[in-house]
Amino acid sequence: MLRRIDLRGQEGLLDGVLPRPDLDSQVPTSAVREIISEVRQGGDAAIRELTIKFDQVDIATPRVSGIELERAWKSLEPELAAALELAHSRILYFHEQEAGKAHEVTQDEIKVTSVPQPVERAGLYVPGGLAVYPSTVLMTALPAKAAGVEELVLCSPPNPSGQIDQVVLAAAYLCGVSEVYKIGGVQAVATMAYGSETISPVDVIAGPGNIWVATAKQEVSGTVGIAAAFAGPSEIVVVGDHSCPSTSTAIDLILQAEHGPGGRAWLVTWDQEYAQEVEDAIEVILESSPRRSETLETLIEDGYLCLVDTPQQAIKVVNEIAPEHLQLMCEGADVLVGDVRNAGAVFLGNWGPASIGDYLAGPSHVLPTAGTARFSGALTVDDFQKRMHVVEVSKAGFDGVANAVGLLARAEGLWAHAASVTERERWAEEGLQP
């Protein structure tokens, strides 16, 4: 009945030996994209039509009211409600402990050990073209190395001479990168995700890039892990006032804009006079910039000055933008930062330009862009690890939860789930020993 796989005497890699689901043949990519497009374009009307099509029911208003939710809770049998409450309490407690970095959580003789396991092979993308980025080698390779990843694979576009800049290669050597390839753009992402005749695929891809690279990473997500959300063209928001020199604000807006087209630079302030001083300073500073054309293009296409009434309103703007870099160069920055919810990295005061974070503050400079800081953060060791939970249950621990497990399993219509508990209870009643 069960298909047997005999690995006795098997040596070496198991590629092609163990059966795996053929996801490529199962994933309805074009159909999914079509449905997504319908929802984006048609909104509520499209949602209603799609529900009729796929669920054969016409629902005018899909949202379930709070009254309905409360009514559903009150309708439960007391035993099932108690089982849900027990599960709720235990699950919430575990995740609160894990969020606090606890590696072992014990509840009523059920012990769960959280074991971080590194991926085996990480792909690092280091941009090229307009600039050279040895710092990105460090900012991607070192979190992976600290996470315990054994094989680091780096792709970077070749220059017109067909080479990768020496300082990038030197940084790769310093970080112990296993493999370096002269491949850039979408093709680099595809190569790391799917492999080729000579290059093995990776488990996770990390690193910033232009819109093409960022989009390619979204496309291969699911085949490989994508570390940190949409790490695309660079962004900055500066919230500033006269407590910091206007020239500092000007140069800090320029420092992100000089990465080139596609990025964004915002000044948010409640001081119109200060705003004008910053704009004047930008014009003066740009005259000395060897990257004046790239910087000016970014500032013209996606440079913004936002005037607000108060510092509090400025933070509301920040949370809406959800920028990659945020600099609070204003009075009371240490207090205002408490209200920031959406930003990749925050720098406080005049002495903390984002350039320090770009190079050596410590955290990775690979940060979420394009508003994805609403749900994602900086690249960390967690992006190169997955948590494996080891669960140990004693007889007393089993006895404490068995009834609730059975009730929940039966509520879901899963007979074998419930039987896995009742069978052990029968076994114990008959005095059988494990």
- Give the catalytic positions in this structure: 324-325
CA angle 253, 336, 135 (to 5 degrees): 40
Q: Give the DSSP H or E segment for 239.
A: strand 235-240
Q: CA 53, CA 46: separation in Å to the nearest integer? A: 10
CB 225 within 8 A of CB 204: yes
Q: CA 299, CA 256: separation in Å to the nearest integer? A: 10
Please report how many Cα atoms fall inside a 13 Å half-sphere around the Cα of residue 395, on the Cβ side: 8
Dig out the tokens for 30 from the structure: 């074009």
Q: CA 152, CA 142: separation in Å to the nearest integer? A: 10
DSSP, residue by residue, 327-366: EEESTTHHHHGGG--S-SEEEESTT--HHHHHHTSSS-S-
- Give the residue from 201, 145, 220 showing the smallest Cα distance to 175: 145
Q: CA 318, CA 340: separation in Å to the nearest integer? A: 7
Q: Give the DSSP H or E segment for 139.
A: helix 134-147
CB 61 within 8 A of CB 47: no
CB 410 within 8 A of CB 398: no
Phi, psi (deg, nearest 5) at residue 82:
-65, -40
For residue 265, the 8-state DSSP code is E
CB 125 within 8 A of CB 208: yes
